[in-house]
Chain A
Amino acid sequence: MTALQPGHPAVEHVEETHRATIAPGTLPSLPGRSDRAVVRDALAVGLAVGVSGIAFGVTGTAAHLTVWQICALSLFVFTGASQFALVGSLAAGAAPFAAIAGALFLGVRNGFYGMRLGERLQLPRWARPFAAQAVIDETAAVALVQPDRRSARLGFTVTGVSLYLVWNATTFAGAVGADALGDTSRYGLDVAGPAVFLALLAPRLREGGEERAVALLGALLALVAVPFLPAGLPVLLALAAVPAVALARSARTRATAPAKNSQAEEQTR
C-alpha cells in the first residue's frame, strides 16, 4: 500500500486545510478525511459512551444481579438499551422469557444497522463473526457518516474496540463500587446516552429536509407509542417514519408537477 502516513508533509497540509474549514470533533461527510480525524472522533464516542457502563453496573446491582451476571451482560450482550431493558424487567419481576423478549425487541435495530454496515464495510467472511458483536448504535452512527470505505472501517473498528473496553471496565467498576457512588443520576450520567445520539445525528440532520423530517417524525411516533406498546416496540415503530416521509414527498411532487406543466405550456404558447 502506498498510502501517505501521518507526519508526511502532504498529509499535514491536508489536515491543516481541514482544520481551517471544519470545526474539530464534528463529523462532516466530506471526502478525504484524515485517519487522525476519524480516530479522534471514534475515540471520543467510545470514551464518552463507554463511561456510562458505570450506570449499568450500578443499575444491575440495584436489580440484585451478581457482579458476574452484570459483567456477562456487558461482555456478551454489548448493546446498552437491551441490557438496561433486561435488568429493568428482571427487577420488576418479569418471567425470564418476557424479559428476553423485551431485550430482543430493542436488539432488532442492530440488525438494520448490520444490513447497512455490511454493505458499507464489505468485510471479509472470516471477520464478520467478530465484527458482529460491535454492530450497535454508536459504531453504526460513526461508520455511516464517513465518506469512504477506508474511513468507515477505521471509524467502526476504533469506536467498537474502545467502546467495548471502556464499557466493560466501567460496568465492572460500577457493579463493584455501586454503594460508594450512590445515585448516579445525581451526576447527570443518565443524559449522556441521549446527548451522544444527538451529537451523532447532528451532521445527518444538517444534510437536509428528508433526514430532518424522518428524525422528527420517528421521535414523535416513538414518544406517542410509549404508553401503549411494550418496551422495545416504540423504537421500532419509528421506522414507519421512513415510508411516511417518502410518501409525503412523492405526493407533493405529484401535486406540484401539473402546475409546472401548465406553466411550461403557457410559456410555449
Chain B
Amino acid sequence: MSTTWLAVLGTAAGCYGLKLLGLSVPAGLLDRPAVRRFAALAPIALLAALTALQTFGGAPHGLTVDARAAGLAVAGIAAWRRAPFLVVVLAAVVATAAIRAVS
C-alpha cells in the first residue's frame, strides 16, 4: 500500500472517530450550565474562525488580503440585509470573480 493511501485511510478513520465520539457523549455530561453554555457558543467561535481563516489565509502560515475579502464583505452586506442564502453565496462568488477579472 502506498503512503498516500495510508494517509487517506488514516485520516478517514480518525475523522469518523472524532465525529462519532462527539455524537456518543452521554447527555448527562452536558447538564451543567457552564458546559451547556460552552457547547452552545463553541460552534459560533469555530465557524467565525473558519470564515476568517478561509478569507485571509495565504500560503502556509501566512495571511493575505485579496479579492476574497471584498467577496466576503459583499456577502456580509447581503446577509445583514437578510438576503436568501444562495444570493449571499452567489454575490460573494460573483464579486470575487469580477475583481479578479479586472485586476
A contacts, CB < 8 Å to B: 23-27, 41, 44-45, 47-48, 65, 69, 72-73, 76-79, 81-83, 86, 88, 90, 92, 95-96, 99-100, 103-104, 107-119, 122-123, 128-129, 131-133, 135-137, 140-141, 144, 185-202, 204, 210-211, 214-223, 226-228, 231, 234-235, 237-239, 241-243, 245-246
Contact = CB atoms under 8 A, between A and B. Distances in A.
A25 B83 contact: yes
User: Looking at A128, A192, A210, A218, which has the most chain B CB atoms within 10 Å of its CB?
Assistant: A218
Interface of B: 3-12, 14-16, 18-25, 27, 29-30, 37-57, 60-63, 67-68, 71-72, 75-76, 79-80, 82-89, 91-98, 100-101
A223 to B, nearest CB: 5
A184 to B, nearest CB: 10
A24 B22 contact: no
B40 to A, nearest CB: 7
A81 B43 contact: no
Contacts of B24: 114, 118, 128
B15 A77 contact: yes
A86 B11 contact: yes
A118 B22 contact: yes
A191 B43 contact: no
User: Looking at A44, A86, A90, A188, which has the most chain B CB atoms within 10 Å of its CB?
Assistant: A188
B46 A112 contact: yes
Nearest to A42: B85
A100 B88 contact: no
A199 B68 contact: no
A201 B47 CA distance: 7
B25 A69 contact: no
Given A104-B15, A107-B18, A231-B60, A113 B72 contact: no
Nearest to A245: B41
Contacts of A239: 42, 45-46
Given A72-B12, A117-B23, A192-B89, A227 B62 contact: yes
A65 B61 CA distance: 23
13 contacts: A72-B12, A99-B11, A112-B46, A119-B39, A192-B92, A198-B76, A199-B75, A204-B44, A222-B52, A227-B61, A238-B45, A238-B49, A245-B41
